[in-house]
Structure 1
């Protein structure tokens, strides 16, 4: 009996050690690619970038991410996380060194594309697969919720660290370079740590009949099974709806600067809280409500889609020129918290709709391919709207587009719940 308990304790400790390592990577690998979150205005001032240029960079990187997710449908079930995770983190750190030299815009685009390869092709689907397999069917909401919350904590600490470095160097060009170097060093070190701590995956080389076949054939077979599974596509498009709303959160940052005239440093602090700090609030709450109250991530998302959509419509028509700045800050942060609570669990329905665990890597990659597709075009759309419709009217248009995506998510969530009920009835 003692031996069994010891083995269970060892298995549990390995599980949470792996989970913590994955969470550290998830909380740091996107910092350079999302430099705009805390340093949108300094990027414009010291790197000479316009709203459209920043939007184009994000969209081009998003396009690369799209093809990266497509490639990862094959890669995640073929290559062990012990290789994929460290490689992606160390590669990100090395790319940051080049970014700190303030290269030409064309090189800036190349760096952003390579950062997308590291984060979205090598790291993210592998991390999602690993987290799903670490938890059982009753832990999915909590596992992904804790992941999002812990990632938010790490995000916030790292981002405030970079903001502190920026301020310490004078909040100028040198400060931005130092902040970029800080963002580069952190994932590089975590990549080395992850290679030491993560255990290699056991990749099967036999089929269901016990016959020995090549790993390439198994990976391709899993990929085809995922592509033929309509439920995976439904979950993926639900993720698409959430991510479309999420893309708009970036523009709360310049909105508060232009409309409410917040100082640059406070804008940076707000950006960190809006993009990272809210994960600490929305992630665990979303996971807890999903598992303990509603017992369904899809049902939870349907409810929050309604709340988010209504809030965005109301906020779009507020008299922003005549109301207190705190109303704008609290309103945008509340909307962001709702979006992050959905982000925390939007892959959890993979378990709810009974996606086979042996094709988890392919399923998560396909879900990410479709779900994160808005990153390939929406940043350009939103940035162009702001450049062509200056002032409050441009922001109002963005908020209403976000509300429309929330409405689409509500309809799709309702449809998925109908399918789940039919399956349960059978």
Structure 2
């Protein structure tokens, strides 16, 4: 095996840590987005309208702005401690909500989720992922983190579904919903305990030269530097373009059934393949390729370009298109999207943004990259309400334009790297 391959290869311990980091990610966001799994039961439990239920996601989405400031906290203090506090608070909020299910309290809880999951947890999560291994492994690490988030999603929600079914003895399944939410909390505590022992203390990690936190701590001046650094914004645009495509993928299901004439069962089956099957393949592949060819941003750009091509092809397909063709195209589009997702959070490493700034950078990248949460579903819903099936034309055109910006951003990163000689020293090494 070559030295290059040896640098990229992950150890068994790294894989175990990455698995539990992915599981923790699933637990943190399980309840904030629980309506995607237990929609009817949640509406019944809260006694609210569907519009009011949407406000919960809006409240949580505002937390993406908080992440820009929470990142400094992870750089200023022990990221492992911040991570533990964030996940721990999520577990506490789950239990409190399970025993106090009403809409007014839900508003408070979702605000708490935004603070715990986005201000505290997310920047610390990204920083810990980056500290799992050295810089030549970042794409591979983030690719497998994304894949294990998908694995964790399947495991956690199947367990929650079991307890929901077991305890859903009432007409609307409210008791089952409470059991599912408590289940999320219990899995979260177990994950925390495992990570507490798996993630080394900073002073211990410094000895192995792979997962050490830097000795210097962030200052306000450093944070301002990160905010004004073009590398931060280029990293954020990479996430923004990728996340836009990721959100757009969920509209393939109604497009297949309403426009192309596929059955609801067939469309749902394709959605499962797209969400889970392509994630397990695409994310690790994208990260690994980024490490192998030393350009995560190039993987993002090429993947987005591929996704654009297939979005255009999808729009040209007539009703009654052969099912096999739809399956193949859906798989390829999903793989492209998850290849970009597997590489996007490692772009700061490619741009040689110091680990000292990892938390602050990830917070700002989250703020920039995930801001579609604030408008994209409302915008897409508006187009479909007003224009009917013709709204899909606007949805796919919007996604293609944003992804094209992502491709141009990847090209700009290559030019920037060449101009500032980024990666030259590491390549020589």
Q: Deviations over 1:254-311 (max 9, x none)?
A: 55676645259x94x766654445331211111122222x331111111111111121
Aligned to 2:394: 397
State the aligned residue count.
399
Deviation track 1:202-261 (CA, whole Å, cap 9, x = no partner) reads 59xxxxxxxxxx988x43243123123221221112211111222223334555676645
What is the aligned partner in structure 2 of residue 6 from structure 1? Answer: none
1:190-201 mapped onto 2 (5 Å cutoff): 190-201=191-202
Determine whether 1:304 maps to 2:306.
no
Matched, 1:384 2:382: yes
Higher relative contact order (CA 8 A, sep 6+): 1
Alignment partner of 1:412 out of 405, 409, 413: 409
CA separation of 1:242/1:53 partners in 2, compared to 1, >3 Å: closer, same or farther?
farther
The equivalent of 2:26 in structure 1 is 27
Contact 2:68/2:364 (8 A) holds in 1: yes
Alpha-carbon distance between aligned partners in 1 of 2:51 and 2:405, rounded to the nearest angstrom: 27
1:247 pairs with 2:256: no
Which stretches in structure 1 are left out of the alignment for 5+ residues?
1-11, 204-213
Whole-Å Cα distance in 1 between the matches of residues 133 and 332 of structure 2?
29
1:112 aligns with 2:113: no
Q: Distance in 1 between matches of 2:395 and 2:363?
A: 28
What is the rounded CA distance, in whole Å, between the counterparts of 1:164 and 1:253 in structure 2?
A: 26
Instruction: Determine the C-alpha separation between the residues in 1 that align with 2:96 and 2:330.
Output: 34
Structure-1-length-normalised TM-score: 0.80
Task: Say if 1:156 and 1:272, in contact at 8 Å, map to a contact too.
Answer: no
How far does residue 376 in structure 1 lie from its aligned partner after superposition?
A: 2.2
Does structure 1 retain, via aligned residues, the 8 Å contact 2:27–2:185?
no
Moved more, 54-63 or 82-91: 54-63
CA drift of 1:98 comes to 4.6
Cα distance in 1 for partners of 2:265, 2:182 equals 24
The correspondence of residues 218-367 of structure 1 with structure 2, limited to 5 A, is: 218-253=218-253, 255=255, 260-262=262-264, 267=268, 273-292=273-292, 294-320=293-319, 322-323=320-321, 328=326, 331-367=329-365
Does structure 1 retain, via aligned residues, the 8 Å contact 2:89–2:116? yes
Shift of 1:349: 1.8
Q: Distance in 1 between matches of 2:193 and 2:297?
A: 37
Q: Give the 3-state SS of the residue equivalent to 2:195 in structure 1.
A: helix
From 70, 73, 79, the equivalent of 1:72 is 70
CA contact (8 A) 1:63 1:376 kept: yes
* Distance 1:38-1:278 versus aligned 2 partners, 3 A rule: farther
Q: Distance in 1 between matches of 2:416 and 2:330?
A: 34
Matches within 5 A, 1:44-123: 52-53=51-52, 55-67=54-66, 69-100=67-98, 103-123=101-121
State how far apart, in whole Å, the 1-side matches of 2:65 and 2:303 are: 26
Partners of 1:141 and 1:370 lie apart in 2 by: 20
Deviation for aligned residue 1:131? 1.9
Q: CA deviation at 1:13?
A: 7.4
